[in-house]
Amino acid sequence: MMIHTSPIVTGTTPAELRPKMLAMLRPKVGLKPDASDPRLEADLDAFLARTGRGLVAVPSTRVRNYTFAEAVAAGEATADLIDALLRDIDLSADTRRALFDDPAWYVTRLVAS
């Protein structure tokens, strides 16, 4: 189930992951595509610091092939990210419910260039 519902966020460097994740998260917390929110960015930075530990670049053909341990780490980090967003950002009731009910785990992967 996790493989089919979770976005894989890729980049050749960890720095490339951040803008991609921001673009994915802004609409989920009710922000416009170009909006900035320091709380969102701080929560995302904590997520990226956690998921960035031990990231190893893989060939692009192996991006969707990750281990059970990597999936569990992504799930735990995503749960902490969602918890932080629910706690730190003022969300409408509908946005809060949608964010809470979203089944996606964000899997970060580095792609060998």
pLDDT category of residue 44 using cuts at 50, 70 and 90: very high
Residue carrying the six token digits 């994740």? 21
Distance CA 50, CA 107 (A): 12
Q: How many CB atoms lie within 10 A of CB 19?
A: 10
- Nearest partner of 106 among 57, 50, 59, 38, judged by Cα: 50
pLDDT digits (tens, 9 = 90+) for 63-76: 999 888 888 999 99
Could you tell me the residue ranges of all domains in the chain?
2-110
Burial 66-84 (b: 16+ CB within 10 A, else e): beeebeebbeebbeebbeb
Q: Which pLDDT does position 31 carry in this prediction?
A: 94
- Residue 113: its pLDDT value, please? 74
Q: What is the pTM of this model?
A: 0.90
pLDDT digit string, tens, across residues 86-106: 999 999 999 999 998 998 999
Q: How many CB atoms lie within 10 A of CB 17?
A: 23
